[in-house]
Amino acid sequence: MENSKPSPKIAGILLAAGGATRMGKPKLLLPWKGEALIHRAARVAFQAGLSPVIIVCGAGAEGIQAALKDLPVQLTHNPHWQEGQSTSVRAGVEALPADCQAVVFLLGDQPFVGVDLIQTLVSTYLKDRPTILAPHVNGKRVNPVIFDRGVFPHLLDLKGDAGARSIFGAFPPSAMPWPDEKVLLDIDTPEDYEQLSKMRE
Protein backbone atom coordinates (compact mmCIF):
# COMPACT_ATOMS: atom_id res chain seq x y z
CA MET A 1 0.00 0.00 0.00
CA GLU A 2 1.51 3.31 -1.06
CA ASN A 3 1.86 6.09 1.45
CA SER A 4 -0.20 9.05 0.35
CA LYS A 5 0.91 12.53 1.27
CA PRO A 6 -1.37 14.25 3.78
CA SER A 7 -3.48 17.03 2.34
CA PRO A 8 -2.00 20.48 2.97
CA LYS A 9 -3.75 22.29 5.79
CA ILE A 10 -5.51 25.39 4.48
CA ALA A 11 -7.08 27.53 7.20
CA GLY A 12 -9.63 30.30 7.06
CA ILE A 13 -9.49 33.56 9.00
CA LEU A 14 -12.76 35.47 9.18
CA LEU A 15 -12.22 39.08 10.22
CA ALA A 16 -15.17 40.08 12.42
CA ALA A 17 -13.74 42.59 14.88
CA GLY A 18 -14.86 45.91 13.36
CA GLY A 19 -17.36 48.29 14.84
CA ALA A 20 -19.58 48.57 11.72
CA THR A 21 -19.90 52.33 12.24
CA ARG A 22 -21.56 52.98 8.89
CA MET A 23 -24.25 50.41 9.59
CA GLY A 24 -25.06 51.78 13.04
CA LYS A 25 -25.59 48.25 14.42
CA PRO A 26 -23.66 44.93 14.44
CA LYS A 27 -24.00 44.19 10.72
CA LEU A 28 -22.58 40.67 10.92
CA LEU A 29 -25.53 39.65 13.09
CA LEU A 30 -28.08 40.81 10.51
CA PRO A 31 -30.22 37.97 9.11
CA TRP A 32 -29.44 36.72 5.63
CA LYS A 33 -31.63 33.99 4.10
CA GLY A 34 -32.41 32.52 7.51
CA GLU A 35 -29.03 32.88 9.25
CA ALA A 36 -26.80 35.68 10.50
CA LEU A 37 -24.29 37.05 7.99
CA ILE A 38 -21.39 35.87 10.18
CA HIS A 39 -22.92 32.39 10.44
CA ARG A 40 -23.27 32.18 6.68
CA ALA A 41 -19.65 33.21 6.12
CA ALA A 42 -18.32 30.70 8.67
CA ARG A 43 -20.56 27.90 7.38
CA VAL A 44 -19.44 28.47 3.79
CA ALA A 45 -15.79 28.41 4.91
CA PHE A 46 -16.33 25.04 6.59
CA GLN A 47 -18.24 23.62 3.65
CA ALA A 48 -15.39 24.68 1.37
CA GLY A 49 -13.01 22.53 3.42
CA LEU A 50 -11.05 25.20 5.29
CA SER A 51 -9.70 24.02 8.64
CA PRO A 52 -9.50 25.45 11.15
CA VAL A 53 -11.85 28.38 10.65
CA ILE A 54 -10.70 31.17 12.96
CA ILE A 55 -13.06 34.02 13.81
CA VAL A 56 -11.29 37.18 14.99
CA CYS A 57 -13.73 39.06 17.26
CA GLY A 58 -13.56 42.48 18.82
CA ALA A 59 -16.61 44.70 18.96
CA GLY A 60 -19.74 42.69 19.75
CA ALA A 61 -17.81 39.49 20.47
CA GLU A 62 -20.56 38.00 22.65
CA GLY A 63 -23.18 38.34 19.93
CA ILE A 64 -20.88 36.77 17.34
CA GLN A 65 -20.04 33.89 19.67
CA ALA A 66 -23.74 33.25 20.27
CA ALA A 67 -24.51 33.35 16.54
CA LEU A 68 -21.83 30.72 15.87
CA LYS A 69 -22.51 28.36 18.77
CA ASP A 70 -23.52 25.48 16.47
CA LEU A 71 -20.33 25.67 14.38
CA PRO A 72 -16.93 24.32 15.56
CA VAL A 73 -15.17 27.61 14.96
CA GLN A 74 -12.06 28.80 16.76
CA LEU A 75 -12.81 32.17 18.33
CA THR A 76 -9.91 34.57 18.85
CA HIS A 77 -10.58 37.82 20.68
CA ASN A 78 -8.71 40.92 19.56
CA PRO A 79 -8.80 43.42 22.45
CA HIS A 80 -6.94 45.97 20.31
CA TRP A 81 -9.41 46.02 17.40
CA GLN A 82 -9.88 49.79 17.67
CA GLU A 83 -6.19 50.26 16.77
CA GLY A 84 -6.82 49.11 13.20
CA GLN A 85 -7.28 46.08 10.99
CA SER A 86 -3.64 45.04 11.31
CA THR A 87 -4.33 43.95 14.89
CA SER A 88 -7.02 41.53 13.69
CA VAL A 89 -4.81 40.17 10.91
CA ARG A 90 -2.02 39.56 13.42
CA ALA A 91 -4.38 37.95 15.94
CA GLY A 92 -5.67 35.57 13.29
CA VAL A 93 -2.23 34.59 12.00
CA GLU A 94 -0.94 34.08 15.56
CA ALA A 95 -3.80 31.61 16.14
CA LEU A 96 -2.93 29.44 13.11
CA PRO A 97 -1.66 25.90 13.73
CA ALA A 98 2.05 25.35 13.12
CA ASP A 99 1.40 22.99 10.19
CA CYS A 100 -0.81 25.45 8.30
CA GLN A 101 0.32 25.71 4.67
CA ALA A 102 -1.81 28.70 3.66
CA VAL A 103 -4.68 30.81 4.90
CA VAL A 104 -7.74 32.28 3.22
CA PHE A 105 -8.78 35.68 4.60
CA LEU A 106 -12.54 36.12 4.51
CA LEU A 107 -14.96 38.93 5.33
CA GLY A 108 -18.40 38.42 6.81
CA ASP A 109 -20.12 41.13 4.78
CA GLN A 110 -19.82 39.50 1.33
CA PRO A 111 -22.93 37.31 1.15
CA PHE A 112 -22.35 36.21 -2.44
CA VAL A 113 -18.98 34.56 -1.77
CA GLY A 114 -19.78 30.87 -1.97
CA VAL A 115 -18.23 27.46 -1.50
CA ASP A 116 -17.39 27.23 -5.20
CA LEU A 117 -15.24 30.38 -5.16
CA ILE A 118 -13.30 29.32 -2.06
CA GLN A 119 -12.72 25.78 -3.34
CA THR A 120 -11.56 27.07 -6.73
CA LEU A 121 -9.22 29.53 -5.00
CA VAL A 122 -7.69 26.73 -2.91
CA SER A 123 -7.36 24.27 -5.79
CA THR A 124 -5.71 26.93 -7.96
CA TYR A 125 -3.30 27.74 -5.14
CA LEU A 126 -2.42 24.06 -4.66
CA LYS A 127 -1.78 23.66 -8.38
CA ASP A 128 0.29 26.81 -8.98
CA ARG A 129 1.61 27.61 -5.46
CA PRO A 130 1.63 31.41 -5.80
CA THR A 131 2.65 33.46 -2.78
CA ILE A 132 -0.70 35.27 -2.82
CA LEU A 133 -3.72 34.51 -4.98
CA ALA A 134 -6.81 36.70 -5.40
CA PRO A 135 -9.95 36.33 -7.51
CA HIS A 136 -10.40 38.92 -10.24
CA VAL A 137 -13.80 39.91 -11.63
CA ASN A 138 -13.57 41.97 -14.82
CA GLY A 139 -10.00 42.87 -13.87
CA LYS A 140 -10.95 44.01 -10.34
CA ARG A 141 -9.35 42.21 -7.41
CA VAL A 142 -11.80 40.94 -4.80
CA ASN A 143 -11.82 39.01 -1.53
CA PRO A 144 -11.31 36.31 -0.34
CA VAL A 145 -7.53 36.11 -0.82
CA ILE A 146 -5.23 33.18 -0.05
CA PHE A 147 -1.76 33.73 1.45
CA ASP A 148 1.04 31.16 1.46
CA ARG A 149 2.77 30.54 4.78
CA GLY A 150 5.90 32.18 3.35
CA VAL A 151 4.34 35.61 3.92
CA PHE A 152 2.99 34.93 7.42
CA PRO A 153 5.96 36.80 9.02
CA HIS A 154 5.10 39.86 6.92
CA LEU A 155 1.46 39.71 8.03
CA LEU A 156 2.65 39.60 11.64
CA ASP A 157 4.63 42.80 11.03
CA LEU A 158 1.59 44.86 10.00
CA LYS A 159 0.86 48.03 11.97
CA GLY A 160 -2.07 50.41 12.40
CA ASP A 161 -4.99 50.27 10.00
CA ALA A 162 -2.99 48.42 7.34
CA GLY A 163 -4.81 45.31 6.22
CA ALA A 164 -3.27 42.24 4.63
CA ARG A 165 -3.41 43.97 1.24
CA SER A 166 -0.66 46.35 2.34
CA ILE A 167 1.93 43.67 1.54
CA PHE A 168 0.71 43.41 -2.07
CA GLY A 169 3.36 45.91 -3.17
CA ALA A 170 6.13 43.58 -2.04
CA PHE A 171 4.26 40.40 -3.04
CA PRO A 172 1.98 41.14 -6.02
CA PRO A 173 -0.95 38.70 -5.96
CA SER A 174 -1.52 36.28 -8.79
CA ALA A 175 -4.93 36.69 -10.41
CA MET A 176 -7.63 34.03 -10.67
CA PRO A 177 -10.41 35.05 -13.09
CA TRP A 178 -13.91 34.64 -11.67
CA PRO A 179 -17.14 35.16 -13.64
CA ASP A 180 -19.69 36.10 -10.97
CA GLU A 181 -19.89 39.88 -10.53
CA LYS A 182 -22.01 39.53 -7.38
CA VAL A 183 -18.89 38.72 -5.34
CA LEU A 184 -17.97 42.40 -5.77
CA LEU A 185 -20.91 43.35 -3.55
CA ASP A 186 -20.61 43.86 0.20
CA ILE A 187 -22.76 45.30 2.96
CA ASP A 188 -21.62 48.51 4.64
CA THR A 189 -24.80 50.56 5.03
CA PRO A 190 -28.50 49.92 5.71
CA GLU A 191 -29.13 50.77 2.05
CA ASP A 192 -26.65 48.09 0.94
CA TYR A 193 -28.36 45.54 3.15
CA GLU A 194 -31.82 46.39 1.88
CA GLN A 195 -30.73 46.31 -1.76
CA LEU A 196 -28.71 43.10 -1.56
CA SER A 197 -31.37 41.30 0.46
CA LYS A 198 -33.65 41.52 -2.56
CA MET A 199 -31.13 39.67 -4.74
CA ARG A 200 -30.88 35.92 -5.08
CA GLU A 201 -27.67 34.09 -4.27
pLDDT per position as a tens digit, 78-92? 999 988 889 999 999
Rounded Cα distance between 92 and 52, Å, is 11
Residue 2: the pLDDT is 45
Rounded Cα distance between 108 and 129, Å, is 26
> What is the SS3 assignment for 62?
helix
Distances (CA, A) of 135 to 6, 52, 90, 124, 180: 26, 22, 23, 10, 10
Asked whether the whole model's pTM tops 0.85, one would answer yes
Q: Top-level CATH class of 9-196?
A: alpha beta
Q: Is the pLDDT of residue 108 over 70?
A: yes
The percent of residues in the chain predicted with pLDDT above 90, rounded, is 77
- CA dihedral sign of residues 72, 123, 10, 187: negative
- Least confidently predicted of 96-100, 147-151, 157-161: 157-161
Q: What is the mean pLDDT of residues 54-66?
A: 91
Q: Is the pLDDT of residue 93 over 50?
A: yes
Rounded Cα distance between 85 and 91, Å, is 10
The pairing of strands 53-57 and 74-77 is parallel
The percent of residues in the chain predicted with pLDDT above 70, rounded, is 93
> What is the SS3 assignment for 15?
strand
- CA dihedral sign of residues 166, 171, 176, 177: positive
**Mean pLDDT for all residues in the chain:** 91
